[in-house]
Amino acid sequence: MASEPQKFKLAGIMGMPVLQSRSPAIYNHWIREHGVLGAYGHLPVRIEQVETALRGLAALGMVGCNITLPHKLEALKIIDSVHPMARQIGAVNCIVVQEDGSLHGMNTDWVGYLGSIKEVQPGWRADQGPIAVLGSGGAARAILYALVSEGAREIRLVNRTRAKADELAADFPGIVQVHDWSQRHDVLAGCAMLINTTNQGMYGQPPLDLQLAALPKEALVSDLIYIPLETPLLAAARERGNPTVNGLGMLLHQAVPAFEAYFGIRPQITDALRRAVLATFAT
């Protein structure tokens, strides 16, 4: 009796804009490496069409998709079930199509972020001193959860819209303190770490308007952006002697559990994968 043919598995990254994402280079490298019958691509979707697009995943036979800016918070309102950790964070970045066609949301950003930091600085600890975080979007939610889970004692949150920051800080009472955007330069005083979760400094966006004079030179500066690999913020930090971490490591580490959820295989981050992804920056 002939065996049932292997099902072709299709997934992708949904956002707007999204064609700059290097996620397809990561997933398709693993697909080839593990001999998976499948593919991973870009899914450019406007914000007003997110629900239609997500509901179409099952009809298209897709196994799921990653969600990026600006759709992370909107997607949470649409999907059918949410992993408890993603519910606690308040944002999803990974949606898996279930056998019955329903949509299940996960968040792998938080574990991806911690993996990227510990890879570069194995001795890093979240309780080494105050941490300044810029931004209050879906990524910021995952970062705050990650920092608090690692024992952070004081997080200084700054966002252009104060109300959004206040809403986010309410989930972490006693740890996250909100400061006005006008105070963003001064809150860096005494910090052990600075994290940019906004899109300022990303390709096609203006540089982040931030003066680093008050930031201690031993403080770790982290930018979630990876296009370009060195943002104006990271360049300025490096020039004054601060250790820096770009967003590429987070992209790689958060993809590991997502790939496993889509394709049933736990991949590894290898030098070959890094070379494959870095090669896309030269094109």
Burial group, residue 230, by CB count within 10 angstroms (0-12, 13-18, 19+) = middle
- DSSP for 29-91, written as a single string: HHHHHHT-SEEEEEEE--GGGHHHHHHHHHHTTEEEEEE-TT-HHHHHHHSSEE-HHHHHHT-
Beta strands 131-134 and 81-82: pairing type? Answer: unpaired
Check 7, 9, 72, 118 and give the catalytic one. 72
A 10 A CB-CB count for 146 gives: 23
DSSP 216: -
The three state secondary structure string of 87-125 is HHHCCCCEEEECCCCCEEEECCHHHHHHHHHHHHCCCCC
Distance separating alpha carbons of residues 214 and 57, to the nearest angstrom: 48
Distance separating alpha carbons of residues 273 and 111, to the nearest angstrom: 19
The tokens for 36 are 């998976």
Does residue 77 have an active-site annotation? no
Distance separating alpha carbons of residues 182 and 160, to the nearest angstrom: 9
Distance separating alpha carbons of residues 92 and 138, to the nearest angstrom: 8
197 SS3 class: coil
Sign of CA dihedral 174, 212, 129, 202: positive
Select from 240, 238, 204, 213 the least CA-distant residue to 223.
Answer: 238
Q: Which residues are catalytic?
A: 72
